[in-house]
């Protein structure tokens, strides 16, 4: 089975009041027609991206993440499987979508995707083979070659490490980057970064207990993989999301500075705009609307602050 279904406990809990999680749990996404060919689940492809590596890039967002960060900017990327996105703010609660439906593409979700009079229901997550997705990206080869490249983000790309590695091999000739949280085995991590020219790695919290509370997992594998990255010889950037009273404290930033040393660091200012997407995939955004405190960039040897 493809490795996209190796998920952290509870990652698919939706929080919907009716218990319906909107996630397709069928097995049709495991493999391609060639049973040895991995398939990947992608929830977005963003062209002309300027924040995901050097230059202007195409960014591919892989579905599924082993972390459960409460501030996640892409909640539709947490579950590894395709799921429903409902624009709940405009829903009239007419109930039409819950009526029996015979459309084959609707059956996995338990409701009709096509009957909503406002067009508020869509599926987030599409299955690709490496060849299919590479062909889609390489349509813009000349532009990407001269202007930037391609970045694989998420979600977490290493959750689909076999697919991502195969995709990156097919994109040889372009500048290839990956954005990762680093929470995976060393084998998976190495298999992905070995196909890259550039790595963006998040380090959110230095304290392992705080990391468990806010991100759902211990940070030991992340820090181990950071050392692998640092010794790999590849160009990389460390990103630290600044979450008010969680990651933006002087104590946490000073501890991260000790970990990363003279690495290049980008500090990302807090943005709660993603909170509006949570209800659409049956999740609840729990962080308050607060602003970051003043950040002392002098804590780091090489850091920039992005708002």
Residue 47: what are its φ and ψ, rounded to 5°? -90, 155
**pLDDT of the residue at 22:** 53
Is there a domain that residue 111 lies in?
no
Is there a domain that residue 114 lies in?
no
Answer whether 164's CB lies under 8 Å from 192's CB.
yes
Domain range for 238 is 3-82+125-306
117-173 pLDDT, tens per residue? Answer: 999 999 999 999 999 999 999 999 999 999 999 999 999 999 999 999 999 999 999
With bands split at pLDDT 50, 70 and 90, how would you rate the model's confidence at 200?
Answer: very high
Bridge partner residues of 42 (DSSP): 62, 126
Is there a domain that residue 248 lies in?
yes
Is there a domain that residue 96 lies in?
no
For residues 227, 230, 234 and 237, what is the CA-based torsion angle, rounded to 10 degrees? 100
CA distance 223 to 117: 49
Is there a domain that residue 97 lies in?
no
Q: What is the CATH number of the domain that holds 72?
A: 3.20.20.70
Report the candidate in 256, 187, 272, 193 with the shortest Cα–Cα distance to residue 219.
Answer: 256
Instruction: Give the total number of structural domains in the chain.
Output: 1
- Angle among Cα 224, 227, 228 to the nearest 5 degrees reads 90
Determine how many CB atoms are found less than 10 A away from the CB of residue 268: 18
Is there a domain that residue 105 lies in?
no
What is the average per-residue pLDDT within 247-274? 95
Radius of gyration (Cα) for the chain, nearest Å? Answer: 20
With bands split at pLDDT 50, 70 and 90, how would you rate the model's confidence at 272?
Answer: confident
Residue 138: what are its φ and ψ, rounded to 5°? -75, -5
Claim: this prediction has a pTM higher than 0.85: yes
35-85 pLDDT, tens per residue? Answer: 578 999 999 999 999 999 999 999 999 999 999 999 999 999 999 999 999
Return the structure tokens found at 93.
């609660």
Helix axes 161-170, 130-138, angle to 10 degrees: 40
Report the candidate in 202, 204, 182 with the shortest Cα–Cα distance to residue 193.
Answer: 182
Report the candidate in 247, 243, 268 with the shortest Cα–Cα distance to residue 256.
Answer: 247
Per-position DSSP letters for 163-187, written without gaps between them = HHHHHHHHTBTB-EEEEE---S-HH
With helix as H, strand as E and coil as C, how does 208-247 read?
A: HHHHHHHHCCCCHHHHHHHHHHHCCCCEEEEEEECCCCCC
CA distance 278 to 295: 28
Q: Give, in order, the Cα–Cα distances in Å from 171 to each of 145, 225, 297.
A: 10, 24, 36
Residue keyed to tokens 């490249």: 149
**pLDDT of the residue at 162:** 97
Is there a domain that residue 107 lies in?
no
Is there a domain that residue 103 lies in?
no
Bridge partner residues of 304 (DSSP): 266
Is residue 211 scored above 60 in pLDDT?
A: yes
DSSP state of 292: P
């Amino acid at each position: 089975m493809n490795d996209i279904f190796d998920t952290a406990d509870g990652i698919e809990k939706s929080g919907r009041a009716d218990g319906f999680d909107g996630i397709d749990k069928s097995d049709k996404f495991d493999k391609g027609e060639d049973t040895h060919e991995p398939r990947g689940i992608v929830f977005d492809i963003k062209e002309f991206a300027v924040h995901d590596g050097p230059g202007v890039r195409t960014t591919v967002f892989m579905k599924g993440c082993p972390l459960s960060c409460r501030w996640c900017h892409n909640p539709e990327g947490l579950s590894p499987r395709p799921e429903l996105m409902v624009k709940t703010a405009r829903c009239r609660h007419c109930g039409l979508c819950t009526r029996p439906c015979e459309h084959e593409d609707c059956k996995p979700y338990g409701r009709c995707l096509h009957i909503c009079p406002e067009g508020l229901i869509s599926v987030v997550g599409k299955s690709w083979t490496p060849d299919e997705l590479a062909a889609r990206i390489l349509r813009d080869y000349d532009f990407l070659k001269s202007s930037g490249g391609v970045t694989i983000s998420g979600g977490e790309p290493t959750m689909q490490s076999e697919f991502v590695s195969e995709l990156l091999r097919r994109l040889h000739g372009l500048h290839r980057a990956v954005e990762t949280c680093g929470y995976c085995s060393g084998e998976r991590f190495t298999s992905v970064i070995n196909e890259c020219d550039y790595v963006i790695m998040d380090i959110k919290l230095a304290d392992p207990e705080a990391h468990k509370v806010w991100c759902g997992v211990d940070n030991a594998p992340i820090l181990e993989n950071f050392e692998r990255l640092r010794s790999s010889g590849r160009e990389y950037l460390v990103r630290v999301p600044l979450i008010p009273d969680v990651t933006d404290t002087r104590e946490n930033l000073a501890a991260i500075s000790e970990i990363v040393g003279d690495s290049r660091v980008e500090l990302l200012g807090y943005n709660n705009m993603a909170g509006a997407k949570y209800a659409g995939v049956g999740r609840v955004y729990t962080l308050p609307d607060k602003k970051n405190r003043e950040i002392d960039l002098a804590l780091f040897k090489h850091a920039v602050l992005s708002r």
